[in-house]
Structure 1
């Protein structure tokens, strides 16, 4: 039987979704022999004709890369004088509309939209903020902030979103693409960081949260994986076990999410998908966000982790939970059974 320590040791050199090239483990690939004009014309016919042909919308928008969808949007506006966004909003509705709009939105703009939506209104959706910032690469987070607006400080964030807990805001601001992206591992630094985390949490009366945010937000993924190994050596527990035992609320959820993503973004997002569909009612916003944002990155790996964790496939979960055009569109993104 493989021990937890062995698992951590093997983790250090394992592939990471943070460094994977787009498309390698995604379910959506760029279409060969792509013609934006032809796709735009087909979408126009599907929308403008008598009754919307939802299957055409799904077939085209789920089988093109996001970059190709942007070209389709340009061709559509040139051909019709209207934006595809306006026509989709005028001709579809509900969760299906939300999903189609997400598909034609550039990735950084979509992440920014989801962050802003999570921060506004009654009750901040902290889990959405945590999910996005914990699972995105430095490049993705830099792009998100560029969409939001350059030069905003943490104070600006606090003024804009007074209902968001301070620890979540600090975390989001610290994550402005500051993570080291090197692949080399400094074992002595990992030991030092592990000791710092142990003394800031497990060994301390009260938690020095700033030490956790600084280390977990800025060290490279390989470096943090080595730190997890060293922490287990010092503490006798995993860092996740210590966090869950010592902390609660937003801080616990935040730090556990980071640790889970350091180990495996696909496994973390598989859990998020499961949570979005379990029990009565579906969290369609989370389901849409993960399926769209990971469809060209690592959705194949998320599918594999889902099957490993829950003993049934992601596709079968979607089929049980969703119906109609929205269900058909999500299934198309899923790309197959396992």
Structure 2
């Protein structure tokens, strides 16, 4: 099964959750930080740079006790990249993912680079949670929105991903023979023919559980001399290639794949702050492993990258989230 990112209380919602004292204290701190003339950004960072479970409880509790949605408060009090990051942190993780998708599909043309990291390489269970949350929050069907905004094989990959069709690993079905068969199908759909059958490639990538896809990758490399990664790089291009490689990566090497996505957000001229924020906020639950992978792959910490690419309160907020996972002096 692909990785779950949401905390347990989102997977098994409690209609009457218990709120530890520190949750009420955080809500009070947020209220004080935004009351009166001016906002105390320092106090907001301290109160909101918390983990996925805590921020879920804070989001619920703040509206209960203060009579205002925390997301709306952050929109009113803070702007820029700092404000956008706080708006995501003001939401439970599933609602934050829904918000990213809403922003990515508003206006003329969808922002594909924000869409596929949210919906691709996710567990069936979390895809179902995300679709329900999107409908509850925006009153629209996520599949319909994405179909209306996307096209071609990229749309096919995204829609296949949000159908929740990943198979559960069954050793009796996902045998070595099945891996050999799927490796051959993958080859015949790509390198083994003139023109690429993207439909077959997408089906194998999305439906195969990580354990089986790992075996397909091994069989493919032994028989054809290429890994699946190299095969996709040769056969695909553009956003479809990026998304397909992301699906493959999240199933085979999820921590390295997210580390590379963080690097991509800072690559080239100018930083993609929205992508950087989304990475750090969405992958909070696996940040320690991602940060270790980032150091091993690139020889620098995620904190160092953030310090170089960002500034002001936005930098302080991201560093607070990262230092919560692995302190900078660790």
Q: 5+ residue gaps in structure 2?
A: 9-18
| Equivalent residue number for residue 9 of structure 1 | none
**After the TM superposition, which of the residue ranges 245-254 and 316-325 deviates more from structure 2?**
245-254
Alignment partner of 1:182: what SS? Answer: coil
Runs of 4+ more than 6 Å apart = none
* Alignment CA distance shift 1:186-1:105 (3 Å): same
Alignment partner of 1:178: what SS? Answer: coil
Q: Are 1:241 and 2:230 an aligned pair? A: yes
- Once residues 207 and 136 of structure 1 are traced to their aligned partners in structure 2, the CA distance between those partners, rounded to angstroms, is 25
- Once residues 142 and 48 of structure 2 are traced to their aligned partners in structure 1, the CA distance between those partners, rounded to angstroms, is 37
Shift of 1:72: 2.7
- Once residues 77 and 207 of structure 1 are traced to their aligned partners in structure 2, the CA distance between those partners, rounded to angstroms, is 51
| Equivalent residue number for residue 146 of structure 1 | 132
Among 273, 278, 284, the residue aligned to 2:273: 284
| Equivalent residue number for residue 16 of structure 2 | none
**After the TM superposition, which of the residue ranges 170-179 and 220-229 deviates more from structure 2?**
170-179
Q: Are 1:18 and 2:3 an aligned pair? A: yes
1:250-270 per-position Cα deviation (integer Å, ceiling 9, x unaligned): 332222222222221111111
Shift of 1:66: 3.2
1:34-79 per-position Cα deviation (integer Å, ceiling 9, x unaligned): 433222222111110442111111111113x333334333443344
Q: Are 1:186 and 2:175 an aligned pair? A: yes
Alignment partner of 2:258: what SS? Answer: helix
Alignment partner of 2:68: what SS? Answer: coil
Task: Kindly report the root-mean-square deviation, in angstroms, between the aligned alpha carbons of the 2 structures.
Answer: 2.5
Shift of 1:183: 6.3
Q: 5+ residue gaps in structure 1?
A: 1-15, 24-31
* Alignment CA distance shift 1:83-1:225 (3 Å): same
- Once residues 42 and 141 of structure 1 are traced to their aligned partners in structure 2, the CA distance between those partners, rounded to angstroms, is 33
- Once residues 186 and 245 of structure 2 are traced to their aligned partners in structure 1, the CA distance between those partners, rounded to angstroms, is 14
CA contact (8 A) 2:23 2:58 kept: yes
Among 71, 76, 80, the residue aligned to 2:66: 80
Q: Are 1:52 and 2:39 an aligned pair? A: yes
**After the TM superposition, which of the residue ranges 76-85 and 39-48 deviates more from structure 2?**
76-85
- Normalized against structure 2, the TM-score is what? 0.85
Alignment partner of 2:193: what SS? Answer: coil
Among 136, 142, 157, the residue aligned to 1:171: 157
* Alignment CA distance shift 1:158-1:284 (3 Å): closer
- Once residues 246 and 80 of structure 1 are traced to their aligned partners in structure 2, the CA distance between those partners, rounded to angstroms, is 54
Number of equivalent positions: 310
| Equivalent residue number for residue 322 of structure 1 | 310
1:220-265 per-position Cα deviation (integer Å, ceiling 9, x unaligned): 1100010000111221111111221222223322222222222211
CA contact (8 A) 2:183 2:217 kept: yes
Q: For 1:215-234, list aligned pairs within 5 A.
A: 215-234=204-223
Larger RCO, structure (CA 8 Å, separation 6 or more): 1
- Once residues 225 and 157 of structure 1 are traced to their aligned partners in structure 2, the CA distance between those partners, rounded to angstroms, is 32
| Equivalent residue number for residue 184 of structure 2 | 195
Shift of 1:119: 2.6
- Once residues 267 and 297 of structure 2 are traced to their aligned partners in structure 1, the CA distance between those partners, rounded to angstroms, is 14
| Equivalent residue number for residue 255 of structure 1 | 244
CA contact (8 A) 1:183 1:222 kept: no
Q: Are 1:332 and 2:320 an aligned pair? A: yes
